[in-house]
């Protein structure tokens, strides 16, 4: 389980970095491009947190998952507004 969680975390980081690179190469739609990649990267981090929670079953793991879900929802809503406005 830990290896899968690490793989999901690495995939999220790669998606985030590729979104940053694509936003830099396409400045006209940079906000929308970066917003989509951040939202997708947060999905992978959520998956990693859930995998870790399944392996450990601790309250700390549950708190991490709740924090990632709350952050993903808040950032996702904000970034969608930015991408629509730009």
User: pLDDT tens-digit profile of 4-57?
Assistant: 889 999 999 999 999 999 989 988 888 788 888 888 898 898 888 888 877 777
> What does pTM read for this prediction?
0.72
Q: What confidence score (pLDDT) does residue 14 get?
A: 96
* Position 1 confidence tier, pLDDT thresholds 50, 70, 90: confident
Indicate the angle between helix axes 30-56 and 2-25, nearest 10 degrees. 170
- For 24-83, the DSSP string reads HH-GGGHHHHHHHHHHHHHHHHHHHHHHHHHHH--HHHHHHHHHHHHHHHHHHHHHHHHH
Domain that includes residue 8, residue range: 2-85
Number of domains in the chain: 1
């Amino acid at each position: 389980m830990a290896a899968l969680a690490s793989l999901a975390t690495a995939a999220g980081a790669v998606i985030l970095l590729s979104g940053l690179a694509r936003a830099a190469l396409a400045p006209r739609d940079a906000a929308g491009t970066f917003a989509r990649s951040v939202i997708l990267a947060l999905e992978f981090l959520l998956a990693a947190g859930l995998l870790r929670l399944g392996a450990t079953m601790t309250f700390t793991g549950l708190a991490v998952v709740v924090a990632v879900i709350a952050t993903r929802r808040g950032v996702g809503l904000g970034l969608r507004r930015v991408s629509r406005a730009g």
